[in-house]
Amino acid sequence: MNISRRDLFKFAGISAAAAAVAGCSATTAPVSMKNVAVNSKLGKHQVVIIGGGFGGMTVAKELKKIDSKFDVLIIEKNDSFMSCPFSNCNLGGIEGVSLSTLTHDYSQAIEKNGYSMLTAVVTDIDRENKIVHTSRGGVAYDILVMAPGIDYNYKGQFPTWDAAKIAKARRVAPAALVPGGEHVALDRLVKNMEDGDVVVITVPKGKYRCPPAPFERASMIANYMKKEGIKGKVIILNETAEIAKGAAFKETWKDLYDGVVVHEDNCKITDVDFDKKVITYVQTVFKDKEDVTGVSTTKTLSYGVFNFIPHNMSNPVIEMSGVATTPDGFKKVKMATSAEKPVSFQTATDASVYAVGDVVGHAIPPSGQSAIWSGKECAKEIAHVLHGKSYSVASALPFKSANVCYSMVNGNPEEAIMVNHEFMVAGPVIGSKGSVPKGDEAANKFRSKGLGKATRDWYRGAMSDLFS
């Protein structure tokens, strides 16, 4: 396949920043092109980053900030960025928030920060020859950073479902946990709901992206219904009994959405009839903490709108790389550890390969804020390696407020709740400890208008971190 240089640069106005991309002369490329394998049609870069999301964009920006001579390329499959954070505010009909509030063009970030971007799908990784294969050809690297985010594990959760049924699930009951069209589809379903509709949101067991997100989503959809005068219910079928920021959400639902937001514990989805719009699930009720068996009952539930969030797993890019992962369903990347660098964003398997964002094997929340924090630390590690020095992430720890995550729970007035995580060294990984403060101490409530404003400020700040 012949790839022209123009094909590489999907975005207008990035040719200067992208001069170090494939096909360029050795004089403009900081890295020697001599060792590029024969099938590496798109050239070589010092640092290649898979994924232009929260983690990947942060690593790229920070590397260029540390040393503008670093040759950094992001490979991203989407040609524009859509934020998952703040997307529930769009569903909630929060003033001035729309799908366009969530959408950003990459060219701004590329121009501002001077890294390169290739719009292509990563299809394989050859670690032996240090080449990332993409839908547009191979790209060679000295250092690879994997920041591809999550995927859904429908097949693992429902082994008997065929490809057509899984495709239908994705289409008619979008999970909306990854950037792109699923957010548009869920927005359409919610905005077209009718009086009496039941909205069902499932919460999977195991590690999943942004643990408070389904509960914030339930609150925001209930807010939308209240605002529009739509009668109905939002039923959360939770596979476990855990609710992130649980006391704060429960207090809010009781105060603002009593009888509208209904949370059901320990519900294992066993099947869904997407034509009849019926969910079958088994709910287990436990007498007390000592009761490990419980009493299980099979139930059915008809829905009008279904936000079906299945089990999550690391994006298949991780499996393509062949690095070691944890044996759980999520397959987190195993991270390097040594006496000199107890915790790291280097993978345990390959010193040339790093990982950031939701895929990491650290015990930190899978959030955009964690990905930004991690991206900055990962960039420092890589910059030191490229400069022939050593840096230990442990020297930055403990770190207070490494992850601050807000959830909007009310639209009129705008009110939110929050969790604040400190990160620390916890054996061979980075650990975290969270606390959920009362936002309104005078009223003794978790939610407050101050936190509502902080939610907007956080989103503005995060977008500014990534795009300016």
Ligand X SMILES: Cc1cc2nc3c(=O)[nH]c(=O)nc-3n(C[C@H](O)[C@H](O)[C@H](O)COP(=O)(O)OP(=O)(O)OC[C@H]3O[C@@H](n4cnc5c(N)ncnc54)[C@H](O)[C@@H]3O)c2cc1C
CB of 223 closer than 8 Å to CB of 260: no
Site for ligand X in 158-177 (CB under 6 A): 177
For residue 30, count other CB atoms closer than 10 A to its CB.
15
Helices (H) and strands (E) in the chain, counts: 13, 21
Least Å from the CB of residue 296 to ligand X: 30
CB of 144 closer than 8 Å to CB of 130: yes
The residue (of 80 and 280) whose beta carbon lies closer to ligand X is 80
Least Å from the CB of residue 167 to ligand X: 18
CB of 219 closer than 8 Å to CB of 257: yes
Q: Which amino acid is at 121?
A: V
Residue 122 binds to ligand X (criterion: CB under 6 A)? yes
Among 43, 85, 174, 310, indicate the residue that binds ligand X (CB under 6 A). Answer: 85
For residue 257, count other CB atoms closer than 10 A to its CB.
21
The three-class DSSP label of residue 412 is: coil
The residue (of 33 and 436) whose beta carbon lies closer to ligand X is 436
CB of 294 closer than 8 Å to CB of 275: no
The residue (of 105 and 162) whose beta carbon lies closer to ligand X is 105
The residue (of 88 and 116) whose beta carbon lies closer to ligand X is 88
Residue 342 binds to ligand X (criterion: CB under 6 A)? no
The residue (of 155 and 299) whose beta carbon lies closer to ligand X is 155
Residue 201 binds to ligand X (criterion: CB under 6 A)? no
CB of 3 closer than 8 Å to CB of 22: yes
The three-class DSSP label of residue 284 is: strand
* Residue tagged 């939002």 (tokens): 234
Using the contact rule CB under 6 A, the part of the chain among 45-53, 62-70, 298-306, 389-397 near ligand X is 45-53
Site for ligand X in 138-157 (CB under 6 A): 147-149
Among 209, 334, 362, 421, indicate the residue that binds ligand X (CB under 6 A). Answer: 209
Dist CA 124 CA 135 (whole Å): 10
Using the contact rule CB under 6 A, the part of the chain among 44-52, 254-262, 272-280, 442-450 near ligand X is 44-52
Q: What is the dihedral of CA 170, 172, 173, 175, to 10 degrees?
A: 40
Among 110, 213, 220, 248, indicate the residue that binds ligand X (CB under 6 A). Answer: 213
Residue 361 binds to ligand X (criterion: CB under 6 A)? no
Residue 51 binds to ligand X (criterion: CB under 6 A)? yes
Among 114, 138, 232, 357, indicate the residue that binds ligand X (CB under 6 A). Answer: 357
Least Å from the CB of residue 75 to ligand X: 5
262: nearest Cα among 307, 229, 232, 287: 232
Least Å from the CB of residue 120 to ligand X: 7
218: nearest Cα among 199, 245, 205, 191: 199
Among 77, 205, 226, 449, indicate the residue that binds ligand X (CB under 6 A). Answer: 77
Residue window 215-244: x/- pattern of binding to ligand X, with contact defined by CB under 6 A: ------------------------------
Question: 49, exposed or middle or buried, with CB in 10 Å at 0-12, 13-18, 19+?
Answer: buried
Residue window 369-388: x/- pattern of binding to ligand X, with contact defined by CB under 6 A: x-x-----------------
Using the contact rule CB under 6 A, the part of the chain among 49-57, 109-117, 152-160, 280-288 near ligand X is 49-57
Residue nearest to ligand X (CB): 53
Least Å from the CB of residue 293 to ligand X: 34
C-alpha distances in angstroms, 53 versus 128, 154, 204? 26, 23, 23
Give Cβ neighbours of residue 419 (< 8 Å, ≥ 6 apart).
212, 244, 245, 403, 404, 405, 434, 435, 436
Dist CA 321 CA 317 (whole Å): 6
Give Cβ neighbours of residue 77 (< 8 Å, ≥ 6 apart).
119, 120, 121, 122
Bond preceding residue 413 cis, omega within 30 of 0: yes
Residue 76 binds to ligand X (criterion: CB under 6 A)? yes
Among 40, 46, 88, 157, indicate the residue that binds ligand X (CB under 6 A). Answer: 88
Site size toward ligand X (CB under 6 A) is: 37
The token pair that represents 325 in the structure block: 């992962």
Least Å from the CB of residue 190 to ligand X: 13
Least Å from the CB of residue 38 to ligand X: 23
Among 179, 232, 310, 361, indicate the residue that binds ligand X (CB under 6 A). Answer: 179
The three-class DSSP label of residue 439 is: coil
Bond preceding residue 437 cis, omega within 30 of 0: no
Least Å from the CB of residue 335 to ligand X: 14
The residue (of 387 and 433) whose beta carbon lies closer to ligand X is 433
Query: Which residues of this protein are in contact with ligand X, per CB under 6 A?
Result: 50-56, 75-78, 84-85, 87-88, 121-122, 147-149, 177-179, 209-210, 213, 315, 317, 357-358, 366-369, 371, 405-406
